[in-house]
Amino acid sequence: MSLTQNEVENASFDWDITRRLWGYLSPHKRRIYWAMLATLFSVLAQVVGPPLVGFAVDEGVRNGDLTLIGVGVLAYLVVQALGAIGFRVQILLMAAAGQRAIQQMRDDLFEHINDLSISFFSRYETGRLIARVISDVEVLREAITFAVVGTFRDVLILFGIIGVMVVINLPLTLVSMGAVVVLAIIANYWRIYARRTYLRVRETNARVNAELSESFNGVRVTQAFNREMHNYHRFTDDINLKHRRSNSRASLVTALFFPSIELVGGVATGLLITVGGTLVLRQELTIFTLLTFVLYIDQFFFPIRMLAQRYNIFQSVMAAGDKIFKLLDTEVEIKDKPDAKDLPPIEGHVYFENVSFSYDGQTAGELVLHQIDLSVPAGSSVALVGHTGAGKSTIVKLVMRFYEATQGRVLVDGLDVTDYTQSSLRRQMGVVLQDTYLFSGTVMDNIRYGRLNATDEEVIEAAKAVGAHDFITNMEKGYQTEIREGGTLLSVGQKQLLSFARALLADPRILILDEATSNIDTQTEKLIQDALARLLEGRTSFVIAHRLSTITSSDMILVMDHGQVVERGTHTELLAQGGLYTSMYTMAG
């Protein structure tokens, strides 16, 4: 789900992306400037080293002066040591700057994603979000750490070497530049093929990871339907085989490129020795000059190769940056007004005033709710029943302000919810869903998620109130038992009981139960009936239920059909009407 081959190949330089990336780096520009300064020592070592060696050998041998040779060698070693130190400092400083910039970017992504409206998550897959935060940001980290100043270093080395060569001897420079041109052509072709090959490796690797995740998560279904061998052959004969072939092709491309570079270098060195040796014999050239050029030819390999690789990296940066910043630019659909205030403590009287709703926000669109008028007194319970798609869940989403009414108003204690901050509204609400989500951590931590400052005693009291205490104490470490992500070691009923305890501990004024008892067996249902009564006591509650036996004691039952309330009343009153509710209740019985 990260960058595809076409996305990287079609990525072009974008000033806006570059500017925004620099925005993350600018707080650390002092480190970057120092890194560039340190790079100069590395460049100096590459450019000055060969002339030092050539001069020491030429003058020392010609004059028979071992001291001069020793001084030349020592000077060379000092320069190389300074270059190594400069290179190390460059990497350390850029790594520090890059890590801090990437940390800030991931922080911004995490904060922004958590603030996005619920509607966003219905159309943007979780896997894509993880790819943005992990894979695409990692592309930027590698570029910042190794490519930004590294490119500056490689360019300086190339121009520095060429400049010194021109000053020392122009004819030999022209011979050497022939090798450089060939190297550049080979590097360009390698860049094109390597980009496609390595992107193919990334794609097949991502497919392997996706297949492993799907297979391991669905292992129970696989074993239940005896599909182990089917999955095995699918993995080995298709997905993993393609991954092996893509890696083999990548190895072949690499194996062709580097020997080619060495071959060109060998040919160039041979030509230099032939031409230069002839000139030395004619006493038209010194050994110093010839040796310097031979050493410089070797120095050309590395920067040209790295520049070819970094071109691909910068293309990936543009593609990754485009995806990341598009995500960061995604607008939050449900926003607080600039003058929104915190909602004061509420009693919980909820009122729908001629509310209509469409998911596209247009009254001309397909309405999910049609002119709903509803008054739910504080402390009362209202049950919502109806067939799938009738609009039950939409009503509670409007209460929690996950969406806003297309027409009409939703009021709490007579206050329009759009005039107050979302956080202050939701702090006074609690929700228990059909699919309970438990976080990695202890049982105690998961219940305390409802109120983070609750004491251990309050957590235990909440668990006792909903009938969860007994099974918790029978666990290996009781309340300190670690729950794996999603609560895979717990039964559906146990997870639901923990969610009841979590909601009770939060002590909300408005409570929403969305199919909260649909996954609980009959024995467990009887166990939590009293706990539900305790949970609902004194709170305004909205209960969505298909199991009608759980809502017979509700103060009001709303029967919904195609976004409209077609019947309302108590259980007894609705049965007496003999309408849709009676039909549903009879079928359920």
Answer whether residue 444 is part of any domain: yes
Model confidence at 308: pLDDT above 80: no
pLDDT tens track for 560-578: 998 899 999 999 999 999 8
pLDDT at 517: 63
Residue 124 vs residues 16, 338, 436, 441: alpha-carbon distances, Å: 24, 28, 21, 27
Whether 381 and 252 map to the same domain: the answer is no
Q: Are 456 and 444 in contact (CB under 8 A)?
A: yes
Please give the average per-residue pLDDT across 352-377, as a whole number. 84
pLDDT at 248: 86
Number of domains the chain is built from: 2
pLDDT at 414: 92
Answer whether residue 398 is part of any domain: no
Q: Are 54 and 289 in contact (CB under 8 A)?
A: yes
Whether 119 and 26 map to the same domain: the answer is yes
| Residue 14 CB partners (closer than 8 Å, separation 6+) | 318, 321, 322
More confident residue, 415 or 311: 415
Answer whether residue 538 is part of any domain: yes
More confident residue, 103 or 225: 103
CATH number reported for the structural domain that contains residue 52 in this entry: 1.20.1560.10
Whether 384 and 529 map to the same domain: the answer is yes
Model confidence at 9: pLDDT above 60: no
Whether 299 and 443 map to the same domain: the answer is no
Task: Name which of 17-21, 72-76, 546-550 the model is least confident about.
Answer: 546-550
Model confidence at 236: pLDDT above 80: yes
Answer whether residue 402 is part of any domain: no
Answer whether residue 276 is part of any domain: yes
More confident residue, 542 or 585: 542
Model confidence at 24: pLDDT above 60: yes
Whether 381 and 273 map to the same domain: the answer is no
For residues 220-231, one letter each, b for 16 or more C-beta atoms within 10 angstroms of the residue's C-beta and e for the rest, the string is: eebeeeeeeeee
Please give the average per-residue pLDDT across 245-252, as a whole number. 82
Whether 47 and 150 map to the same domain: the answer is yes
**Host domain of residue 56:** 5-328
More confident residue, 12 or 197: 197
Task: Name which of 72-76, 160-164, 170-174, 533-537 the model is least confident about.
Answer: 533-537
pLDDT tens track for 398-414: 998 988 898 999 999 99
Give me 346's structure tokens: 């509420």
CATH number reported for the structural domain that contains residue 507 in this entry: 3.40.50.300
Whether 321 and 440 map to the same domain: the answer is no
Please give the average per-residue pLDDT across 442-470, as a whole number. 89
- The type of residue at 454 is A
Q: Are 22 and 97 in contact (CB under 8 A)?
A: no
